[in-house]
Structures are given as C-alpha cells and as structure tokens.
Amino acid sequence: MVKKINILAGQDKSANLEVIEMLEVQAGEILAVVGPTGSGKTQLISDIEQYAAGETPSRRHVLINDLAAGDYDGQLSFRRLVAEVSQNMNFVIDMSVEEFLLMHAQIREIDRPEIVTKEVIKVTNELAGEPVSKQDNITVLSGGQSRALMVADVALISNAPVVLIDEVENAGINRLQAMSFLAGQGKVVIVVTHDPMLSLMADKRIVMKNGGMLKLQETTQEEKTVLKQLIEVDQKLSILRDNIRQGGSINKETLREGELL
C-alpha cells in the first residue's frame, strides 16, 4: 500500500538546485501542479511515473513510503505507479462498455468482476453529464462520458496508487467530484491544471518555473471560501453555456438575470 510519495529536489533547466527541497504527498491528498507552459510540469509527472532515481534530466529522486526505487529491488507490488486520465486519451477497443470493464477486471484478477463492473458504470453516471449504458459501444462515447468512465475505472479497477489528471476539460464531466472521489479511494491525486477552481480544490499546489519546483502553497481557508464562490460563478456560467447549446442568445439582460453582471 502506498502511504506517501516524496520528491527530493534535483535541478531546474539552468542546473540550479530547486527552491523546494522536498515535496510530500500522502494517500488521499490532492496536489495541483501549476505553472506556465514549458515550466516543467510534465517532467515532474514523468519523474514520478518513472520512479526517478537521479537519472532523469531533473536529477530528482522519488521515494515511495520512504524507499527509493532501488530499495524495492524489483519486488514492486504495483505494475505501474501512475494511472493517467488526460484529454488526449481515447478508447480504441471495439466492444461494449460492459464487456470491456469485465475484461479489464478479469485481467486485474478482481473477485466478482460483475459487481465491480456495475459499480464502475454507476460512478461513471454520477460523474458524466449524459448517461452511459452498459451496452454502449465504448468507442462512441462522448468526450465527457469517456473521461468519466476512465476516472471510475482508474479508481475501482486499476491498482495504480497515484492518479494523474492532466488538463481534463470541464465539458461533460464533473471534475471536482471526480477528484474528491479518487482521493476518497485512498489514491494520491495529482492534477495538472491552469484552472483556478481545480487548483483551489487541491490540498496544496506546487508552482513550477524554469523546470524547477519554485513554491509549495497549502490551500488557505480563505481560498477554500473563495472556491465556493468560484463554483457558484461556474454554475452561473454553465447556465449560459446550456442556453447557447440549446439555441438561445445572450445579451446584457441574460447576464443580469444570471447575476453575472
């Protein structure tokens, strides 16, 4: 069981020692990785995924439950440390949702695959905007449905202890709910994002710059309060979004009615 992951500092792109010497994330915690494009977010994730031991360009070391990759001596109980859900990913297998989940559960040697399959579909439907049925072909699911199914599958079938959510768009999936669901399963949840809501939803955030870990910021109580307001604004925005989707038009009056002005 993974209880925590530590990342020991390496160097930034200019070979300077990183400002943050050690980053610790515990199971059930959510960490946001923020910073401009090219700031090193992907390398940080890649280091965790590869269980880096000083050999990657960043020279970082990753510890799991205080042990380095070498200490495990190949006896790692998990195949893959990081399960990922990103906007680029698709399902390419031509079969129904149910058949696919059963196959995945069987391959993972899970007892009673039928029960976990039902559970995954139930969670998918809690996260997705439009319902998914077990008979649906997995390749024809919408973007939001696919993302919701990926999250539910990662949470309940995959055994990877770390889950990475990479730039998942807001359309058709409740991301905040997805993140708290994953964290509730005892996963280490890492979310790479430019979105203020997702950043504040996290317990803490690491700010990247020039390839290095620049600042570690715990989410403050005030930010948690602000988050609630942001969620309200977002809900108002989604009313506008639905209005446009259904053929409506937007003017200053609609904005006033929606309390956005």
Partner 1 sequence: MRFIIVTGTPAAGKTSVMMHTIRHLLTEGLKVAACKIDCLETSDDRRYRSLGIPVAVGLSDYFCPDHFYVANLEEIFSWAEEQEAEILVLETAGLCHRCAPAVDGCLSICVIDNLSGIDTPRKVGPILTTADIVAVSKGDIVSQAEREVFRRKVEMVNPRARIIELNGLTGQGSLRLKKEILESSPVNRIEGKELRYSMPAAVCSYCSGETIIGSTYQMGNIKKVDFGRKSSG
Which strands, in side-by-side order, build the sheet including 188-192?
82-86, 162-166, 188-192, 30-34, 204-209, 212-218
- The nearer residue to partner 1, 90 or 225, going by C-beta atoms, is 90
Q: How far is the CB of 160 from partner 1 (least distance, A)?
A: 7
Determine if 93 is a binding residue for partner 1 (CB under 8 A): yes
Which letter does DSSP use for residue 220 in this model?
P
Which letter does DSSP use for residue 139 in this model?
G
Q: How far is the CB of 97 from partner 1 (least distance, A)?
A: 11
**10 Å Cβ neighbour count for 142?**
15
> Per-residue x/- mask for partner 1, residues 125 to 144, rule CB under 8 A?
--------------------
Of 91, 134, 174, 180, the one binding partner 1 (CB under 8 A) is 91
Compute how many residues bind partner 1; rule: CB under 8 A. Answer: 31
In terms of Cα–Cα distance, which of 60, 9, 5 is closest to 31?
A: 5
Determine if 49 is a binding residue for partner 1 (CB under 8 A): yes
Q: What's the rounded Cα separation, in Å, for the pair 240 and 32?
A: 28
Determine if 110 is a binding residue for partner 1 (CB under 8 A): no
In 169-211, where do the E strands start and end? 188-192, 204-209
In terms of Cα–Cα distance, which of 44, 42, 34, 41 is closest to 10?
A: 44
- The nearer residue to partner 1, 34 or 69, going by C-beta atoms, is 69
Please list every residue from 142 through 161 that binds partner 1, using CB under 8 A: 146, 150, 153-154, 157-158, 160
Determine if 227 is a binding residue for partner 1 (CB under 8 A): no
Segment near partner 1 (CB under 8 A); pick from 20-28, 30-38, 50-58, 224-232 = 50-58
Q: How many CA atoms lie within 13 A of 183 on its CB side?
A: 20
- How far CA 204 is from CA of 23, 56, 154, 210, 219, in Å, comes to 10, 25, 22, 20, 5
Which helix (H) or strand (E) element contains residue 85? strand 82-86
Q: How far is the CB of 59 from partner 1 (least distance, A)?
A: 12
Determine if 11 is a binding residue for partner 1 (CB under 8 A): no
Determine if 112 is a binding residue for partner 1 (CB under 8 A): no
> Per-residue x/- mask for partner 1, residues 61 to 90, rule CB under 8 A?
------------------xx--xxxx-xxx
- The nearer residue to partner 1, 90 or 133, going by C-beta atoms, is 90
- The nearer residue to partner 1, 149 or 227, going by C-beta atoms, is 149
Q: Which amino acid belongs to residue 233?
A: V
User: Euclidean distance between the first and final Cα of the chain, in Å?
Assistant: 50
Q: Which two tokens stand for residue 43?
A: 């390398």
Q: Which two tokens stand for residue 232?
A: 């309200």
| Residues making contact with partner 1 (CB under 8 A) | 42, 46, 49-50, 55-56, 79-80, 83-86, 88-93, 100-101, 103-104, 107-108, 146, 150, 153-154, 157-158, 160
